């Protein structure tokens, strides 16, 4: 049998330190990515509601006047503020989050808050409500920033773990 010789070159102690830190790096990275993306989505949703800068269908004249008469907020999707106040970030598992409104909480008008958000998002022919896709438009907007955000998170976690 032929013998062969292996010669190690470079900083193998450093390589060993990096390899032993990889599980921690991956764990921290996974959690941080979810935290950052969930936070950005949540902040963008709130911003769009407050600034009214998405191209959502306007309120019809009757409903706008009704809101004024009843002292409600005249902005789209805000009437009482309950819908906006109930948007939350929920950690549902390691590396997973839900951003939105969970079912089970009732709006002052008696409808489930999550169902109300769904009706606003997709519209309702029965109720004469056009779709006002707050969640979908915000998601599409943030998709274009995803690569930049992920690169920044990887750099941040790399510096944190491999110091």
Per-residue pLDDT tens over the stretch 46-84:
999 999 999 999 999 999 999 999 999 999 999 999 999
Q: What pLDDT, on the 0 to 100 scale, is given for residue 93?
A: 87
* 68 Cβ neighbours under 8 A, 6+ residues apart: 74
Q: What pLDDT, on the 0 to 100 scale, is given for residue 162?
A: 84
Let me know if 155 is exposed, middle or buried by CB neighbors in 10 A (0-12, 13-18, 19+).
exposed
Q: What pLDDT, on the 0 to 100 scale, is given for residue 134?
A: 98
Q: What pLDDT, on the 0 to 100 scale, is given for residue 95?
A: 85
CA distance 160 to 156: 6
Tokens describing residue 12: 């193998």
Q: What pLDDT, on the 0 to 100 scale, is given for residue 135?
A: 98
Question: By the 8 A CB rule, do 102 and 88 touch?
Answer: yes
Residues of the chain with pLDDT under 70: 1
Q: What pLDDT, on the 0 to 100 scale, is given for residue 132?
A: 98
Q: What pLDDT, on the 0 to 100 scale, is given for residue 88?
A: 97
CA distance 136 to 62: 27
pTM for this predicted structure? 0.86
CA distance 80 to 65: 15
CA distance 135 to 142: 11
Residue 96: its H or E element? strand 96-100
Residue 60: its H or E element? none
Question: By the 8 A CB rule, do 153 and 26 touch?
Answer: no
Map residue 145 onto helix, strand or coil. coil
């Amino acid at each position: 049998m032929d013998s062969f010789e292996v010669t190690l070159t470079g900083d193998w102690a450093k390589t060993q330190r990096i390899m032993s830190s990889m599980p921690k790096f991956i764990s921290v990275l996974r959690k941080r990515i979810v935290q950052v993306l969930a936070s950005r989505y949540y902040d963008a949703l709130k911003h769009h509601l407050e600034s009214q800068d998405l191209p959502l269908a306007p309120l019809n004249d009757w409903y706008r006047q009704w809101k004024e008469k009843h002292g409600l907020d005249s902005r789209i999707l805000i009437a009482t503020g309950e819908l906006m106040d109930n948007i939350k970030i929920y950690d549902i598992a390691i590396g997973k989050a839900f951003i939105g409104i969970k079912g089970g909480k009732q709006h002052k008008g008696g409808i489930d808050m999550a169902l109300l958000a769904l009706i606003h998002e997709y519209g309702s022919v029965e109720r004469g409500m056009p779709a006002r896709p707050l969640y979908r438009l915000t998601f599409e907007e943030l998709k274009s920033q995803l690569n930049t955000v992920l690169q920044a998170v990887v750099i941040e976690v790399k510096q944190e773990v491999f110091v």
